[in-house]
């Protein structure tokens, strides 16, 4: 059979396969349950096979129906992606950026307003995701990722290599005068850790930091909180739950605002840098070139601040 089955019937069948019921399918499609049944029957007649069987008040896909449904899902998703791409191409005054969630919320998002003030006619879409955008999915203009996740990045450039430093809420520090803390003193506080595994190689641990500062770690207590998101760990420190080894780029604003304090200045670099990647067609639009120049300038400023803190500048 070379003639395709009716597309509307395929769309309704795809929805039915996801919902497993006439009523829910009809609700999602905003049509009557009778109309759903009629379209399924039309599809079965066009294909010459039984796709759906009734079990009590529910409808189940047959074995043939399940196989056909998988193909319908893939085909319709391809069509949706193609339509998204068309819609995006029509909106030439937009900028789409994907970034790791914590870096997006703690570093990029607070700075993006400055760029938008210079380009008020550009709408910006920010997507926080650990997953690298698929080349077949809705296209992003730029992706900010961590170095050990780039396999086939196409076009990329290093932004900066961050370092971690111990920070805490000023509320948990000694209040009688300005008591200077030494690295060993931090072991007496509650410690908050960040663990990125298995998504990424984790940042330096508290054991790494104490060892680098000549502090014995054999009797070191395990952190009382471990977070997979750096931004959540930083918020726990802001809320007064202990010290966190935080990335310099992500706590600069909180330190400046007094939400965090850095009583011991001792940094350890991350094992990999942050990278900016983009597709070959990104620079077809002038706002993308302008954004890249702006972002690289901010990254150079950030690297300079990190190096100053580490005593490398």
Domain with 151 in it: what CATH number?
A: 3.40.190.10
State residue 92's pLDDT score. Answer: 61
Tell me, rounded to whole angstroms, the distance of Cα 231 from its chain centroid.
12
261 and 172: one domain? yes
Q: Would you say residue 64 lies in a domain?
A: yes
Where do the H-state alpha helices sit in the chain?
7-19, 22-29, 33-47, 63-90, 101-103, 109-118, 206-212, 230-238, 248-256, 286-310
Predicted TM-score of the model (pTM): 0.69
Q: Which of 48, 72, 89 is the last residue in one of the domains?
A: 89
Residue predicted with more confidence, 247 or 218: 247
175 and 261: one domain? yes
148 and 211: one domain? no
Residues 9 and 43: their CA atoms lie apart, in Å, by: 6
State residue 83's pLDDT score. Answer: 79
> Within a 10 A sphere around the Cβ of 130, how many other Cβ atoms?
15
Using a pLDDT cut of 70, give the percent of the chain over it.
Answer: 89
Q: Which of 196, 181, 259, 190 is nearest to 220 (CA)?
A: 190
Assign 89 a pLDDT band (cuts: 50, 70, 90).
low
| The two three-digit tokens of residue 27, written as one number | 């609700």
- Eight-class DSSP state of 193: E
Tens digits of per-residue pLDDT, 107-160? 999 999 999 999 999 999 999 988 887 654 556 889 999 875 554 545 889 999
Q: How many domains does the chain have?
A: 3
- Whether pLDDT at 11 is above 60: yes
Q: Would you say residue 1 lies in a domain?
A: no
Residues 294 and 209: their CA atoms lie apart, in Å, by: 33
State residue 286's pLDDT score. Answer: 86
- Mean pLDDT over residues 33-51, rounded? 90
Domain with 11, as residue range(s), is 7-89
126 and 172: one domain? no
62 and 202: one domain? no
123 and 257: one domain? no
223 and 82: one domain? no
55 and 68: one domain? yes
């Amino acid at each position: 059979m070379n003639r395709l089955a009716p597309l509307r019937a395929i769309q309704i069948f795809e929805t039915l396969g996801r919902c497993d019921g006439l009523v829910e399918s009809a609700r999602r499609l905003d049509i009557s349950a009778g109309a759903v049944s009629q379209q399924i029957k039309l599809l079965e007649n066009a294909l010459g096979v039984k796709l759906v069987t009734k079990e009590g008040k529910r409808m189940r896909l047959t074995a043939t129906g399940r196989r056909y449904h998988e193909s319908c899902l893939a085909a319709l998703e391809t069509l949706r992606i193609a339509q998204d791409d068309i819609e995006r191409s029509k909106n030439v005054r937009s900028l789409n950026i994907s970034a790791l969630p914590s870096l997006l919320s703690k570093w990029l998002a607070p700075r993006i307003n400055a760029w938008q003030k210079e380009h008020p006619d550009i709408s910006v879409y920010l997507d926080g995701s650990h997953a690298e955008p698929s080349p077949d999915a809705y296209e992003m203009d730029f992706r900010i990722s961590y170095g050990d996740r780039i396999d086939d990045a196409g076009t990329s450039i290093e932004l900066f290599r961050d370092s971690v430093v111990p920070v805490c809420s000023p509320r948990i520090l000694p209040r009688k005068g300005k008591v200077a803390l030494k690295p060993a003193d931090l072991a007496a506080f509650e410690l908050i850790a960040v663990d990125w595994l298995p998504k990424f190689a984790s940042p330096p641990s508290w054991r790494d930091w104490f060892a680098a500062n000549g502090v014995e770690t054999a009797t070191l207590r395990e952190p009382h909180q471990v977070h997979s998101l750096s931004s959540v760990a930083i918020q726990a420190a802001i809320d007064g739950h202990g010290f966190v080894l935080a990335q310099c780029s992500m706590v600069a604003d909180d330190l400046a605002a007094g939400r965090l304090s850095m009583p011991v200045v001792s940094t350890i670099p991350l094992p990999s840098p942050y990278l900016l990647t983009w597709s070959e067609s990104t620079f077809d639009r002038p706002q993308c070139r302008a954004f890249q120049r702006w972002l690289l300038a901010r990254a150079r400023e950030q690297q300079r601040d990190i190096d100053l803190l580490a005593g490398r500048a």
